[in-house]
Structure 1
Amino acid sequence: STLAYSLHALAEILTVEQVEEDLCPIFDSFFRDVDEVKIGILSNLARFLKVLQLSTRRTYLDKLTYLTCVDNQRNWRFRFESANQLYELTSLFSSVDVGDYISPLTFGMAVDKVADVRHAAIKALSGCYSKFNSENAQIQTEVFLDDCHRVFASSQDWKLRQVYINLCESIYKLHVDTPDQYALRFLGRLLSLKEDPVVNVRLSLGTFIYQNLINNEFYIDLSDDWRSQIDECLQILLVDRDRDVRASVGGVYEARGTPLSSEILNDDSDSSIQNNTITLGDEQQNQS
C-alpha cells in the first residue's frame, strides 16, 4: 500500500527505460488490487503516466475504465480522486484520445450522486473542452457540446441542469472562446433556464450571469442580439417569485414575510439523481 502511494516519486527519479521496464509491471499489478491499494496509484496517476513515453502512456487509456472503477460504490472519495486525475490527464493526451477515452468517463462522473464528485468532474470536463479548443478539434468539440446539452441542459433532473450552469461558468473562466463563439455554443441553452421550475437552478443562473456576464468586456464585445437576450433574462429574474433569485441579480433583498415556498431551496441530499447511466455521442448514434 505504501509503495502504491510513492511509485510516482520513484518514477520521477529513474530513467524512462527503467520506469517502463521495472516500475510499469508493479504499477499494473496494483490496479488489479483492492480499492485501498488502487487509490494509492490513482491519486498520483497523472504524475506517473507523465514520465512514460507517449506510446507506452497510450496503452493505459484502455485501462482507465478499470482503474477508475471502484469495488465499493459507497466509496465516493475514490470517484472524487478519479475525477481530479482525469482533469490532470487531459494535458497528457491528444484531443482524439481525450474525446475517445477521458471525456466519456468524465461525463459519467458528472452525473454522480455526490456533489463533490460532480464538481470535480465539471473541472475535468472544462479541461476536455480546453484541449479540444487548443487543437481545433472540431469533431470532438461538436460531440462534447451535443452531450453537454443533452445530458445536462435538457435533463429531467434539476441537479444536472445546475451542473450545466456550473460547467458553463467553468468554461467561461477559461477565456478560450471569443464572446460570440461562447454565446453561440452555450448561451442559448443557458438563458433558457431563466424560467426553470426549480429555484436552485434559477439562483445558480442569476448568480453566474450577474457576477460574470455583464458590465465587462465580454458583455461589451457581444453582438446586440445576445446582449438583449441577457438583458431580458435579467429582467425576468429581477421579478422572480423567489427573493433569493431576485437578490442574485441585484434586486432588493427584502425580509421574508411569507413562509418558505414549497420549492427546493437548499437540498443538499443527492437522492434525486437516481440513475447515472448516460448515452454519449457515438453510443447514441449506434442505438438510433
Structure 2
Amino acid sequence: QSMDSTLHYIHNDSDLSTNSSFSPEEERKSKVQDVVPQALLDQYLSMTDPSRAQTVDTEIAKHCAYSLPGVALTLGRQNWHCLKDTYETLASDMQWKVRRTLAFSIHELAVILGDQLTAGDLVPVFNGFLKDLDEVRIGVLKHLHDFLKLLHVDKRREYLYQLQEFLVTDNSRNWRFRAELAEQLILLLDLYSAKDIYDYLRPIAFSLCADKVSSVRWISYKLVSEMVKKLFMASTPTFVVDLMNELVEKFCRCHKWSGRQTFVFICQTITEDDCLPMDQFA
C-alpha cells in the first residue's frame, strides 16, 4: 500500500512534455505498457525534462541515458514505442556526456531491439554520432564491429565509404583513436568481401602503418597481416598479389628507413601468424 501511494504521488508529480503532433491523450497512450508500474516508467521518462536538471540533478539526463538499455531490456522490444521519443531527445541533448553515454551503448540496444527497429530508429542516431565530437565518436568506434554486424549486408556496406573519416580527429595527438580504429578494422575483415577489403580497408590500413605513433603502427602491422591472410583465402588471387606488390613498392622500396623497417615488421607478423604458406611468402 505504501509503494502504491508513493507511485501514485510520483505519477501525479510528473511533468511530462508532449509531442506537438499528438494530442495529450494520444501521447499518453503511446507510452502505456504493462511490464512495470506505469507511474514508475512515467517518472523515468520525465528525467529528460530540462526543469529536472535545475531542480533535481544537473546530470539527471546522463543517468537517464545510462539506464536506458536496461529499461529497454526490461520492457522488451514490443514496448520500444514507450522509449523511442526519450531516446531521440537524449541523442540530441546539448551535453556531450549524455550523447557519449548513448554512443557507448547503442550496440547493446541494437541487440535488444532487433534488426528491423535498429535499421529504422537506431541507424539515424548512429549516423549522427559518427559526425559528433571525438568524445562521442569514440563510443561508436569502440563497438563499431558489434553494431555493423547486426545490420543487413547492403546497409553495412554503406559504412565502407565513411570509415576513412575516422582517420580525422579534432586533435591530431589523439593517437588512441587511430589505435582503436586499427583494432576495429581487424574485426571488420570478417564482415566484408575480399573486394571491399581491398578497395576500402587497404588504403586505411596502409595509412595507419605510416602513423607517427609506434603503438598505432604495431596494431596496423597485425591488421595488414590479417588482411593478407583473408585475401589469400579469397577465390580471386589477384587481390593478395596486388596487395603484396603494393607493400613492396610502398614500404620495401621506400626512400626512408622507417618505411623499410615497416616492411620488415609486416613480414615478421605475416610469418609469425602463419598468414601465408612459406612457398607463397618466398
Which range moved further: 220-229 or 168-177?
A: 168-177
Q: Tell me which of the two structures has the higher relative contact order, counting C-alpha pairs closer than 8 angstroms and 6 or more residues apart.
A: 1
* CA distances 1:218-255 after superposition (whole Å, capped 9, x unpaired): 35423422212331342213445666555444359xxx
**Aligned residue number for residue 241 of structure 2:** 228
On the 8 A contact 1:42/1:81 being kept in 2, the answer is: yes
- Aligned counterparts, 1:4-15, within 5 A: none
Name the aligned partner's letter for residue 187 of structure 1. Answer: Y
Q: Which residue of 1 aligns with 2:3?
A: none
Equivalent pairs: percent with the same residue? 13
| Aligned residue pair count | 220
Pick closer, same or farther for the CA change 1:197–1:218 going to 2, 3 Å: closer
Query: Which ranges in structure 1 are unaligned for 5 or more consecutive residues?
Result: 1-15, 253-288
**2:190 is aligned with 1:190:** no
TM-score w.r.t. structure 2 length? 0.61
**Which residue is equivalent to 1:87?**
107
Q: Which amino acid aligns with 2:223?
A: N
8 A contact 1:165–1:204 mirrored in 2: yes
- 2:84 aligns with 61
The answer for the alignment partner of 2:74 in structure 1 is 51
Query: Gaps spanning 5+ residues in structure 2: where?
Result: 1-32, 267-282
CA distance in structure 2 between the partners assigned to 1:21 and 1:58 by the alignment: 14
Which one-letter code corresponds to 1:122 in the other structure?
A: L
In the alignment, is the contact (CA less than 8 A) between 2:194 and 2:231 conserved in 1?
no
Write the mapping of 1:38-187 to structure 2, written as runs, cut at 5 A.
38-72=61-95, 76-114=96-134, 116-132=135-151, 137-141=152-156, 145-149=157-161, 151-153=162-164, 155=165, 158-159=168-169, 167=181, 169-170=183-184, 172-173=186-187, 176-177=190-191, 181-187=192-198
Matches of 1:148 and 1:201 in 2, distance apart?
Answer: 24
Aligned-residue Cα RMSD (Å) equals 3.9
SS in 1 for 2:84: coil
The 3 A distance-change label for structure 1 pair 167 and 195 is closer
Q: Which has the larger radius of gyration?
A: 2
3-state SS, counterpart of residue 105 of structure 1: helix
| TM-aligned CA deviation for residue 64 of structure 1 | 2.0
What TM-score results when the alignment is normalised by the length of structure 1?
A: 0.60
